[in-house]
Amino acid sequence: MKFSKIALSALSFAVLGFLAMGLVSIPAAAATTTVSTTFNVTATVNASCGITAAPLGFGTYTGAAVQASSNLTITCDTAVPTINVGLNTGNNGTYTAGTTYTRKMANGAAMLNYGLYQNAGDTTQWGTTTGTDTLVTAYTTTAVTVPVNGLIPAGQVVTTGSYSDTITAYIYF
């Protein structure tokens, strides 16, 4: 059977019409192979902590022992499981092995000895050696207040005037 050009043309339009209406579909190539891979998703959260200190003022020293206290405040933006808090010897102090700290306030060349302690009984000195003389505290994202107790021992004979020292507080996390 022979088709005329008009019949083929009409048939072509009919097929195009069916395709446009979605009545005829062309089979897609069948997928026979699947390839996959994996990849890691990571993030790092660094702790950011800060420390502030209130001044420690002993007042007037008359030769009798003088006690005073202050506070350190530690804040972190993420939870840190453990923080070590330490205090150095100051500008004029010395450290002797065995955790003996001698801190001194200065008035020119004159010195006035004092101590800084972690406890109210003045038996545990502050230092900077983690695991030995620093204070270990658990921490969350709420501010932590740490007391600093000071003692000027009795019986020192010193020149009159104003004495001072500067202590550096550290946090290790």
Q: How far apart are the first and last CA of the chain?
A: 92
What's the pLDDT score for residue 2? 56
pTM reported for the whole predicted model: 0.73
Q: Which domain holds residue 162?
A: 49-172
What's the pLDDT score for residue 76? 87
Distance CA 8, CA 2 (A): 10
Q: Is residue 6 situated within a structural domain?
A: no
SS3 140: coil
- How far apart, in Å, are the Cα atoms of 100 and each of 12, 67, 70, 170? 103, 19, 21, 18
What's the pLDDT score for residue 96? 82
- CATH of residue 162: 2.60.40.1090
SS3 40: coil
- The series of mean pLDDT values per 10 residues for the chain, 173 residues long, is 51 52 57 90 85 96 97 88 92 82 95 96 91 84 91 97 97 89
Q: Is residue 33 situated within a structural domain?
A: no
Q: How many separate domains does the chain show?
A: 1
Q: Is residue 12 situated within a structural domain?
A: no
